[in-house]
Amino acid sequence: SQVPLRHDEL
């Protein structure tokens, strides 16, 4: 599924 870019951050 497509994850928003911000979910890359911890």
Over its C-alpha atoms, the chain yields an Rg (Å, rounded) of: 6
For residue 10, the 8-state DSSP code is: -
CB of 3 to another protein, least distance (A): 5
Cβ 5 to another protein, closest distance in Å? 6
- What does the per-residue mask of binding to another protein show for 1-10, with x meaning CB under 8 A? x-xxxxxxxx
Q: In the structure encoding, which two tokens stand for residue 4, read together? A: 């928003």
CB of 1: closest distance to another protein in angstroms?
A: 6
- Binding residues for another protein, per CB under 8 A? 1, 3-10
